[in-house]
Structures are given as C-alpha cells and as structure tokens.
Amino acid sequence: MKTHKKFPDLETERLILRNVENQDTSFIYQLFSNKEVCRYLYDEPLYTSEEDARDFIEWHRNPEEKGYNRWVLVKKADKQEKISIGTCGYDSWDQTNNIAELGYDLWHEQWGKGYMEEALISAINSGFENMGLNRINAFIALSNKNSIKLLEKLGFLNEGIYREKHLFDGKYYDHYSYSLLKRDWEMRA
C-alpha cells in the first residue's frame, strides 16, 4: 500500500521543488551566508561555514517523519544544468488545528522575476492538499516590502504586528503576521 506524502517533490513551469539533500550543502551555505539574501531573516545569524549548512540539511532531513520541510528551488534550464536559486517550506505544523508556517528565501539575483510567486503557489497548493492545512501563517520583517507585496498578491491577509518576534544581534524585531485560509485560497482559484 502506497502512503500519501505530505511533502512530495513539486514541479512548476520553470522550477522543480525538491526536499533538501546532502548535495545542496554548498548552495545552502552560499545562500545563508549572503548578507543581501539574509537582510530580513532575523531568526539566525549568517552562516560562517559549510557545517552550518550541513546542520540545516540534517534538521530538514526526513520531513515525512518530522512534520516540517524545506524544498530547494531548482531552476529548469537547458540540458542537464540545474541551478538552485532558493528554498521554501513549512515549519511549526500544528496538526491538531491544521496550521503551519511558510518560510522562503531567494538568491538576490533572482528577485523580481516571479520565481518565488511560482514556487509559493505550488507550496501553498501542496500544504492545503497534501498536509490538510486549513491555515498558513507567514511572518515578514516590517521593512521587507517585496515580500509583503508577494504575500498580499497571493491572498494572504495582514493580521497585524507580532511584536518583538525575533531577538537578533541583541535587538528585538517586530514582524507582520500574515495568514491564508484554505477557503480564501479556493475562492481565488
């Protein structure tokens, strides 16, 4: 009997979303050690070694067992060349109330090209269909205007400010609290 996957690999017109693997160590290190990429990520410091990337991969290994994941966004390119450009995934899955938190990041040279929108549409569909979510949360730094625009374009509602959500480098940072309900997503379709 085949079991239903909660975190299957996904495919969009221009991207493959696959769960993070050991082969992604260099990319994950490059992504999370880049100041521009991490400008609004206040939940952990910049990576300083590939060991940090290996820890990230280990943390997200076996998503079906753990109940959280991280997909690597792989750009479909000509021939066999596949270029990783970002990640997205679910965390803080409350299976009793069918709520999870969506997080994402994208290599800065790929900003503004629609890749994250494409990836998040697929991830949102997967969350509602495969995880049985009713609500998806996202927390965005107050100054991250592009991310705010993206979530609002996808139908997320700003529910206010989550005050002092992250302590980072000795300072507390407020975040906007966004949510998307399954019924609202289905009405958009």
Is 85 a residue whose pLDDT tops 80?
yes
* Residue 100 tokens, joined: 């999870």
Q: Could you tell me how many residues make up the chain?
A: 189
Query: Rounded to two decimals, what is the model's pTM?
Result: 0.94
Round to whole Å and give the CA distance between 125 and 106.
20
Question: pLDDT tens for residues 17-69?
Answer: 999 999 999 999 999 999 999 999 998 899 999 999 999 999 999 999 999 99
Is 81 a residue whose pLDDT tops 90?
no
Is 189 a residue whose pLDDT tops 70?
yes
Instruction: Choose the CATH number for 10-133 among 3.40.630.30, 3.10.290.10, 3.40.50.920, 3.40.190.10.
Output: 3.40.630.30
What is the DSSP track for 8-42? --EE-SSEEEEE--GGGHHHHHHHHT-TTTTTT--
Split at pLDDT 50, 70, 90, the class of 1 is very low
- Looking only at the bridges linking them, the beta strands covering 71-75 and 83-94 are antiparallel
Handedness of CA 119, 121, 122, 126 (dihedral sign): positive
Residues forming beta bridges with residue 74, ordered by sequence position: 16, 84
Question: pLDDT tens for residues 130-145?
Answer: 999 999 999 999 999 9
Strand spans (E) along the chain: 10-11, 15-19, 71-75, 83-94, 99-106, 135-141, 157-168, 171-181
Give the chain's mean pLDDT: 95
The pLDDT of residue 129: 97
Round to whole Å and give the CA distance between 88 and 29.
15
Split at pLDDT 50, 70, 90, the class of 79 is low
Note the Cα 22 to chain centre separation in Å.
18
Query: What angle do helix axes 25-32 and 50-60 make, rounded to 10 degrees?
Result: 110
